[in-house]
């Protein structure tokens, strides 16, 4: 299995939390070179799906294939080389310097990588070089999120999974982050994000997976999934979606 590209396939996937099914009958194929957004209302199962893809949760049924291999049969260290995961909320427990915190993303590779070069490149991508020596416990919420993204990128894994990566970021850094993920996909990586911002998903992503109560309600290119009647039904709102030059202007109007 090559490190540069990775096809990830889900087959009849089911995920449980506290003995309750939160994902049921989920199947999809995630391709190298594609940026995929997982969207849906709170409680739809977005985080559970991403945790299963990243190996944090084990499927209750079905399977996830990395290439031609069942991901459950891949050794933990090897899987960590193939898939990098950014959780939704994470508070550092130790007062590490930013550069050392980012370098944690290189642990699966042992001493076989150029640590200094990789860390510097990752910090540059997220505009965080200016505070590389600062303790992570002294960062703002937005700064911490950018540093966590650098840790995600530093290992150059072929499969990137990020849960609500734009949370706590200002508008400039939201756009910078999405452009960064776009570049990662364009370089041949398989990238999956959980997003609440439908306009960002429409602007930057190749595919949308719309979840409703743990099931895949719709998938496809943004223009096919982000339709007012479908989004309104799933989210329980009336809305307008205006498209111009491939960019969606999402306007919520009222509750249904």
The gap from C-alpha 244 to its chain's centroid, in whole angstroms, comes to: 26
Average pLDDT (51-64) is 96
Residue 137 covered by a domain: no
Band of pLDDT at residue 1, cut at 50, 70 and 90: very low
Q: Is residue 3's pLDDT more than 60?
A: no
Residue 125 covered by a domain: no
pLDDT at 90: 80
Residue 243 covered by a domain: yes
Residue 176 covered by a domain: yes
Residue 219 covered by a domain: yes
pLDDT (tens digit per residue) in 146-202: 999 999 999 999 999 999 998 878 888 899 899 999 999 999 999 999 999 998 999
Q: Provide the residue range defining the domain that includes 219.
A: 8-89+157-255
155 touches 184 (CB < 8 A): no
pLDDT at 244: 76
Q: Of 28, 38, 138, which is closest to residue 88 (Cα–Cα)?
A: 38
Q: Any long-range contacts for 75-79 (C-beta under 8 Å, 24+ apart)?
A: 77/108, 78/108, 79/55
Give me the percent of the chain exceeding a pLDDT of 70: 98
Average pLDDT (43-48) is 96
Residue 98 covered by a domain: no
Q: Is residue 246's pLDDT more than 80?
A: no
Which structure tokens are listed for 188?
């041949």
CATH number of the domain bearing residue 20 = 3.40.50.300
pTM of the predicted model as reported, rounded to 2 decimal places:
0.92
Number of domains in the chain: 1
Residue 174 covered by a domain: yes
pLDDT at 25: 97
Give me the percent of the chain exceeding a pLDDT of 90: 71
Q: Is residue 2's pLDDT more than 50?
A: no
Residue 209 covered by a domain: yes
Q: Is residue 40's pLDDT more than 70?
A: yes
pLDDT (tens digit per residue) in 90-131: 888 788 999 999 999 999 988 778 899 999 999 998 889 999
26 touches 50 (CB < 8 A): no
Q: Is residue 252's pLDDT more than 80?
A: no
pLDDT at 256: 63
Interatomic CA distance for residues 193 and 203, integer angstroms: 13
Beta bridge partners of 83: 159
């Amino acid at each position: 299995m090559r490190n540069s590209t990775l096809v990830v396939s889900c087959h009849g996937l089911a995920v449980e939390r506290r003995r309750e099914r939160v994902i049921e009958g989920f199947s999809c194929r995630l391709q190298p070179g594609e940026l995929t957004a997982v969207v849906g209302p709170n409680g739809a199962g977005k985080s559970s799906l991403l945790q299963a893809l990243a190996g944090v949760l084990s499927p209750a049924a079905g399977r996830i294939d990395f290439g031609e291999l069942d991901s459950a049969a891949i050794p933990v260290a090897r899987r960590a080389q193939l898939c990098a995961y950014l959780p939704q909320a994470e508070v550092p427990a130790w007062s590490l310097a930013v550069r050392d915190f980012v370098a944690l993303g290189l642990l699966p590779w042992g001493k076989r990588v150029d640590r200094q070069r990789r860390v510097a490149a990752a910090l540059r991508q997220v505009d965080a070089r200016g505070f590389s020596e600062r303790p992570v416990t002294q960062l703002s919420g937005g700064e911490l999120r950018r540093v966590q993204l650098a840790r995600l990128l530093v290992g150059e894994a072929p499969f990137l999974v990020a849960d609500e990566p734009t949370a706590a970021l200002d508008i400039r850094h939201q756009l910078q982050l999405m452009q960064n993920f776009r570049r990662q996909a364009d370089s041949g990586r398989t990238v999956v994000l959980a997003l609440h911002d439908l306009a960002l998903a429409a602007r930057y992503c190749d595919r949308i997976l719309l979840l409703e109560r743990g099931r895949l309600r719709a998938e496809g290119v943004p223009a096919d999934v982000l339709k007012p009647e479908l989004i309104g039904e799933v989210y329980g709102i009336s809305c307008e979606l205006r498209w111009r030059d491939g960019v969606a202007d999402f306007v919520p109007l009222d509750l249904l």
